[in-house]
Amino acid sequence: MGMFRLSAEDFSKTVSTPRFRRIAAGILILAAVAVGAFGFRTYRSLVLLQSAREIGVPATSHVRPWMTLDVVAQSYQIPVARILEGLELPSDTQSGASIASLVSARGETSIAFLQRLQKVLADSATPTEPQPKTIESGWLSEAADAILSIVVRFGTPALAVTLFLAAIGLPLPSGLAATLAGTLAAQGRLDLAATVFATLFASLAGDIAGFALGRSASVSLLDRYGKYVGLSERRRSFIAELFGRWGALTILLSRTYVSSMSSVVNILAGAGGYSVARFVVVATMGRLLWTSAYLGVGYAVGDNAEAASEFLANLTRMLLSVLVCLVCAAALRSTHKPA
């Protein structure tokens, strides 16, 4: 552990340098900008969700400023001419014009314009209103759509398998799957209690499996191959000390704010010798929060899982940016030396 103590001393010297303070100040500024950006996107997502529900066509919550008129028309199967008429736009307006450019030209706020567009789409909807087509491509998005379809078809067992594999580390849409499950529960297609239990149990089981994988790696195996995956002897000593000091917070945040990092944290916690009992307790707390958030939003919205998941993702990014701001501000304050 001597090497780690030397590293810690070097780190203490580094954080007290003017260069570190400049870097921390720069990160603080960027994080503050991110708070504003994600805060606005969170607010816009919430307003459009509420507006879509009020007009009775939840699918219209998908409309965004980046969309062009022809994209909106294709997604909702409505002629461009009808959209132009409803928005009181000139008939010669280019179909390739984006919503953002139209908003800028008319001097409206983007939220007000999008709400008017939602009403036009709702008034023009047919009895068998189609869901908007996702403007995404690639095998990853296609695989995600296939997985969500399986969850819809097979229900709670498919949800549990998806969340378990995602917690281990597979790139599966766990957040969207959980939100979708909340939506299905609100519609009465899934039992709410069973869905909550499956979500919590499967996610936690995946966390424990990842932890066990890290713990099962022998010292000789780590000594031999650890350096190839970033787990050298020095790094493992650092991780052990890090989890000793900040392990609970790291595990909790990786289940809530940055859930995409949970699988990595699980393995590192196991490889670093973190307490099994403490890991299970903190991971359970984090998964309770995660389950409540994603299932809760899906259940509350009850109609549009994708839009609800987007709202929750923006909210999470905003809160994470706030956390970064607080950490940087605390670092600057602790390293400030009064004249």
* 297 and 148 in a common domain: yes
* 106 and 181 in a common domain: no
Which residues partner with 68 through β-bridges?
Answer: 98
Residue-range definition of the domain harbouring residue 85: 12-135
Residue 324 · residue 29 · CB < 8 Å: no
In a domain, residue 322? The reply is no
* 115 and 223 in a common domain: no
Distances (CA, A) of 120 to 63, 103, 112, 269: 12, 16, 13, 53
Phi, psi of 16 (to 5 degrees): -95, 0
Please state which of the ranges 82-91, 176-185, 192-201, 299-308 shows the lowest mean pLDDT.
299-308
* 167 and 204 in a common domain: yes
* 144 and 96 in a common domain: no
In a domain, residue 323? The reply is no
- In the DSSP assignment, the letter for residue 146 is H
* 276 and 181 in a common domain: yes
Q: Which residue has the tokens 């009020």?
A: 54
Last residue of a domain, one of 83, 104, 135: 135
Last residue of a domain, one of 135, 151, 172: 135
- In the DSSP assignment, the letter for residue 94 is -
Residue 7 amino acid letter? S
Provide the number of structural domains found in the chain: 2
* 202 and 171 in a common domain: yes
* 233 and 211 in a common domain: yes
In a domain, residue 162? The reply is yes
Got the DSSP string for 156-216? HHHHHHHHHHHHHT----HHHHHHHHHHHHHTTSS-HHHHHHHHHHHHHHHHHHHHHHHHH
Which burial class, exposed, middle or buried, applies to 116 when counting CB atoms under 10 A from its CB (0-12, 13-18, 19+)? middle
Residues in the chain: 339
In a domain, residue 7? The reply is no
* 124 and 148 in a common domain: no
Rounded mean pLDDT of 300-319? 70
Cβ atoms within 10 Å of 109's Cβ, excluding its own: 11
**pLDDT given at position 218:** 61
- In the DSSP assignment, the letter for residue 37 is H
Q: pLDDT tens across 156-178, in order?
A: 999 999 999 988 888 788 888 88
pTM: 0.60
CA 98 centroid distance within chain: 26
In a domain, residue 324? The reply is no
In a domain, residue 335? The reply is no
Residue 321 amino acid letter? S
**pLDDT given at position 200:** 94
Phi, psi of 131 (to 5 degrees): -75, 145
CA 80 centroid distance within chain: 33
* 92 and 218 in a common domain: no
In a domain, residue 310? The reply is no
In a domain, residue 312? The reply is no
Alpha-carbon span 112 to 44, nearest angstrom: 10
* 269 and 185 in a common domain: yes
Higher pLDDT, 248 or 306: 248
Q: pLDDT tens across 194-245, in order?
A: 999 999 999 999 999 989 988 887 666 666 666 665 556 666 666 666 676 7
Phi, psi of 197 (to 5 degrees): -65, -45
* 157 and 117 in a common domain: no
